[in-house]
């Protein structure tokens, strides 16, 4: 793919456009003058995208014909859509994350797309233990922590096979996205704090990578426009500044005038409790999602950081917004939203 300077003329499709990352991406592309089509399931979010100048298509990733047809006339496809959760039926994750990716691949093949940028996840690295400076080619755990990670790993295998068959693809693994519009990470923490349910798991000194949303959008666009040297490769994306998780939650609580939790629970105790809950909720699916899982307990207590060396070298990726700046922006957005 040529590195044209007039990126405004590119025609791009973004799946998952009614989600956090996909929505941020389509808005940036539209603001920059791209001819962008956003595809997603949420009609209300789709109406907001239309108002922002995005051509919106209402479609489910499980609708193979609709996904293939949506690729027609596009030059770049950003596949950011996925079923994202820590709990749920494997078949549902498979249908969206694997089946949906297969449909995107087929659409790109049929319509001669110049490049497919596939959004994967570093959750596939997670094995309930500390890991530092993980590179893209480091060994993976023998078993994935949940159905989301397992099916995203299968989707990556489909992407790799498509590249071997000649499709121009590049994959990204962004880590723990946050920022204004975040529907998951910080809102769940805030709810747990407000309900006095949050406990410091372990010693509170664990380190994690976070990723401010605008930085990840930068990375996606860079992957879409980079030279052919990136094709077939996979890149970690984070803020590149590992932080103590509980220190940053304390910062957020102070900004929002929330009481920071001081009660602690040993990691082994929390992990055992989560394991028991998972067993119970698996046996009784009508109960829904357990209030605690081994994955979420481990996220709160374990250390995991990723290497950005490959993304910096090949994509020129250098995060512009720091974690503290990002937390400040999220806090301002949350307060403004709460006052409405």
Q: Could you give the CA distance from residue 210 to residue 164 in angstroms, rounded to a whole number?
A: 32
Residues annotated as part of the active site: 148
Report pLDDT digits (tens) over 255-287.
999 999 889 999 999 999 999 999 999 999 999
Taking CA atoms, 241 is separated from 158, 184, 232, 322, 329, in Å, by 31, 21, 27, 8, 17
* Contact predicate 82/97, CB 8 Å: yes
Q: What is the pLDDT of residue 338?
A: 77
E-strand stretches of 80-160: 115-119, 131-134
Give, in degrees to the nearest 5, the angle at Cα 282 between 156 and 18.
45
Q: What is the pLDDT of residue 154?
A: 98
Strand partners for 119: 172
Q: Could you give the CA distance from residue 324 to residue 212 in angstroms, rounded to a whole number?
A: 10
Domains by residue range for the chain, with CATH: 8-175+211-238+305-320 (3.40.50.720)
Q: What is the pLDDT of residue 340?
A: 64
Report pLDDT digits (tens) over 215-264.
999 999 999 999 999 999 999 999 999 999 999 999 999 999 999 988 99
What residues of the chain score a pLDDT lower than 50?
1-5, 7
E-strand stretches of 175-240: 177-178, 200-201, 207-208, 211-212, 234-237
């Amino acid at each position: 793919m040529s590195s044209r300077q007039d990126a405004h003329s590119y025609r791009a499709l973004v799946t998952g456009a009614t989600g956090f990352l996909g929505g941020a991406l389509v808005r940036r592309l539209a603001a920059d003058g791209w001819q962008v089509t956003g595809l997603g399931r949420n009609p209300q979010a789709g109406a907001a995208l239309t108002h922002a100048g995005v051509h919106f298509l209402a479609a489910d990733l499980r609708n193979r014909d609709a996904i293939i047809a949506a690729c027609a006339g596009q030059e770049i496809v950003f596949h950011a859509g996925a079923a994202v959760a820590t709990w749920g039926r494997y078949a549902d994750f498979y249908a969206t994350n694997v089946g949906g990716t297969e449909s995107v691949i087929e659409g790109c093949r049929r319509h001669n797309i110049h490049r497919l940028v596939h959004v994967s996840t570093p959750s596939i690295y997670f094995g309930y233990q500390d890991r530092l400076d993980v590179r893209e080619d480091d060994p993976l755990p023998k078993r994935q922590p949940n159905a989301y990670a397992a099916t995203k790993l299968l989707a990556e295998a489909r992407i790799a096979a498509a590249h071997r068959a000649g499709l121009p693809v590049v994959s990204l693994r962004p880590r723990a996205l946050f920022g204004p519009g975040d529907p998951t990470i910080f809102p769940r923490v805030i709810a747990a704090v407000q309900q006095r349910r949050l406990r410091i798991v372990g010693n509170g000194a664990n380190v994690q990578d976070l990723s401010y949303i605008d930085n990840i959008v930068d990375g996606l666009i860079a992957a879409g426009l980079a030279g052919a040297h990136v094709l077939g490769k996979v890149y970690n994306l984070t803020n590149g500044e590992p932080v103590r998780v509980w220190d940053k939650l304390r910062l957020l609580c102070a900004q929002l005038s929330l009481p920071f939790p001081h009660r602690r629970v040993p990691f082994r105790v929390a992990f055992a409790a989560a394991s028991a809950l998972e067993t119970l909720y698996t046996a009784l699916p009508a109960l829904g999602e357990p209030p605690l899982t081994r994955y979420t307990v481990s996220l709160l207590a374990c250390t995991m950081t990723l290497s950005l060396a490959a993304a910096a070298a090949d994509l020129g990726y250098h995060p512009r917004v720091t974690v503290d700046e990002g937390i400040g922006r999220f806090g301002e957005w949350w307060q403004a939203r709460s006052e409405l």
